[in-house]
């Protein structure tokens, strides 16, 4: 009798509790970038005020591990999160094969597409016209330069053409400072300049890195190092910031997120930097900016709450408040254009000698060359570094041979 009574009590408790448990939803989010995770955590808290039953569980993993876990979970068909951050250079592998593990967002975005700077917001996460991710970072690359070092050499800045950049660099070099520190173990500077001429892939998805413009840019980097001697080899990893703080070089080309990195790693240089658009070639080729890096947020097909996941992504990425929060917390310049008119974006930055970064970024943003992604992005960029960038800059092969080797490798990779 007693047992039966207890059973009844438990049954009642269960009946009352069940609907509450059932409507409370927890969505898993996987991210890898501290600055973005903090922003998403803040957004999840705000989101909870509107959807009290929804909890977004932000989980943070190291870069490699997160992408590998996501890949494994998609292959396994189980265990993937609802929402994930995918870094731009890792997106290619996820669109390989006949199937993509992410939910297409085209219909969900709808008319909001007109409010997005698509070159940075959707293009890198788009494959065969399906938009799989949305990026809130407008990573327009600018040239950051040490005005104090240029002033020492009797100059006002790096110049507006590459030819001027080199001439000014020679004057700078006579004071013991190189203009640029070029990494011979990575493709970033080649990409930043060469994306004006397609970069790695053309809009058809064919490898374009060895076109005339790509070769011209490689020649430029080579000449700066070995002919004009206005550049040095970039020290690897954290030593780069050491050389930066020692004033060994005067220029860095980077996206807005890199401004945050500089403030963290070279805080002592506050007030000594200014920024300007990238130089172009004297013949008018080139672009005053490029896109570099970036992260997009995707919904996996394994998610049982894709609708809520989208509400959250929209809340963070397609609202003025959400995107400005990211700007405030991590220097991420919004791709959501309605935020561009908000005056909070145009604050002055002491690190950059009182300039208004947003002013310059919004001026050059419409000129960002498009980024054409490809399932072969990881292999091709990797081949480019080891077959072109390193051997050419280290003078172990000439440019023509390097590009021929590269083309041969591309033909082997893409079959």
Partner 1 sequence: MIRAISSFWARHQRKISPYLFVAPFFILFAVFLVYPVIYSFILSFYDARGLGARTFAGLENYRELLIDPRFRKAVVNTTYYAAGSVFFLSPLALLLALALNTAWLKLKGLFRVAFFIPVITSEVVVAVMFTLVFEQDYGLLNALLRSIGLDPIPWLRSPAWAMPSIILLGVWIWAGLNALYFLAGLQNIDQEYYEAAAIDGANSLQLFRYITVPLLKPVILFVVIQAIVGSYQLFTQPWILTSGGPQDATLTVTMYLYLQAFRFFNLGYASAIGYALVVIILTLSLIQLIGFGTFRREDA
Least gap, CB of 99 to partner 1 (angstroms):
3
Give the Cβ contact number of residue 387 at 10 Å. 21
Q: In the structure encoding, which two tokens stand for residue 415, read together?
A: 């079959």
Distance CA 385, CA 197 (A): 18
- Phi, psi at 305, each rounded to 5°: -130, 45
Q: Closer CB to partner 1, residue 185 or residue 285?
A: 185
Q: Closer CB to partner 1, residue 254 or residue 391?
A: 391
Least gap, CB of 226 to partner 1 (angstroms):
15
Least gap, CB of 16 to partner 1 (angstroms):
34
Angle made by CA atoms 126, 130, 132, in degrees to the nearest 5: 60
246-266 CB burial, b ≥16 within 10 A, e <16: ebbbbbbbbbbbbbbebbeeb
Least gap, CB of 378 to partner 1 (angstroms):
5
Interface with partner 1 (CB under 8 A): 64, 67-68, 71, 74-75, 93-101, 184-185, 233, 235-239, 242-243, 375, 378-379, 382, 385-387, 390-391, 394, 396
Q: Closer CB to partner 1, residue 186 or residue 370?
A: 186
Least gap, CB of 235 to partner 1 (angstroms):
5
Could you give the count of Cα atoms lying within 13 Å of 6 in the half-sphere of its Cβ? 3
DSSP states along 133-170: EEE-B--B-EEEEEHHHHHHTT-SSS-SBHHHHHHHHH
Q: Closer CB to partner 1, residue 347 or residue 408?
A: 408
Identify which of 106, 59, 130 has the alpha carbon closest to the alpha carbon of residue 310.
Answer: 106
Least gap, CB of 199 to partner 1 (angstroms):
19
Q: Closer CB to partner 1, residue 91 or residue 326?
A: 91
Q: Closer CB to partner 1, residue 221 or residue 365?
A: 221
Distance CA 180, CA 185 (A): 15
């Amino acid at each position: 009798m007693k047992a039966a009574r207890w059973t009844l009590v438990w049954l009642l408790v269960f009946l009352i509790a069940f609907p509450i448990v059932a409507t409370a939803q927890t969505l898993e989010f996987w991210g890898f970038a501290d600055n973005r995770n903090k922003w998403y955590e803040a957004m999840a808290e705000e989101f909870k005020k509107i959807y009290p039953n929804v909890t977004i569980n932000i989980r943070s993993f190291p870069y490699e591990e997160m992408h590998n876990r996501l890949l494994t979970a998609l292959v396994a068909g189980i265990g993937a999160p609802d929402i994930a951050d995918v870094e731009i250079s890792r997106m290619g592998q996820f669109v390989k094969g006949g199937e993509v593990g992410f939910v297409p967002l085209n219909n969900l975005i709808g008319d909001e597409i007109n409010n997005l700077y698509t070159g940075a917001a959707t293009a890198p996460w788009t494959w065969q016209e399906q938009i799989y991710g949305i990026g809130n970072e407008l990573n327009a690359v600018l040239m950051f330069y040490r005005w104090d070092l240029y002033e020492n050499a009797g100059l006002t800045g790096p110049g507006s053409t590459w030819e001027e950049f080199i001439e000014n660099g020679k004057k700078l070099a006579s004071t013991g400072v190189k203009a640029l520190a070029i990494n011979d173990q990575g493709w970033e500077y080649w990409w930043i300049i060469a994306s004006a001429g397609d970069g790695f892939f053309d809009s058809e998805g064919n490898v374009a890195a060895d076109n005339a413009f790509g070769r011209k840019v490689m020649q430029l980097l080579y000449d700066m190092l070995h002919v004009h001697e206005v550049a040095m080899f970039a020290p690897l990893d954290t030593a780069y910031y050491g050389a930066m703080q020692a004033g060994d070089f005067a220029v860095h080309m980077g996206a807005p997120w890199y401004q945050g990195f500089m403030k963290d790693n070279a805080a002592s240089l506050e007030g000594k930097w200014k920024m300007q658009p990238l130089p172009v070639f004297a013949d008018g080729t080139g672009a005053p900016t490029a896109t570099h890096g970036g992260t997009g947020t995707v919904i996996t097909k394994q998610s049982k709450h894709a609708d809520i996941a989208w509400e959250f992504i929209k809340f963070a990425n397609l609202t003025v408040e959400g995107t400005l929060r990211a700007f405030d917390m991590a220097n991420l310049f919004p791709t959501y254009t309605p935020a561009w008119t908000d005056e909070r974006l145009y604050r002055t930055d002491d690190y950059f000698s009182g300039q208004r970064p947003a002013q310059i970024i919004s001026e050059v943003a419409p000129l960002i060359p498009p980024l054409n992604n490809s399932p072969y992005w990881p292999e091709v960029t990797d081949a480019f570094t080891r077959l072109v960038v390193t051997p050419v800059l280290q003078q172990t092969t000439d440019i023509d041979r390097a590009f021929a080797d590269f083309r041969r490798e591309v033909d082997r990779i893409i079959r």
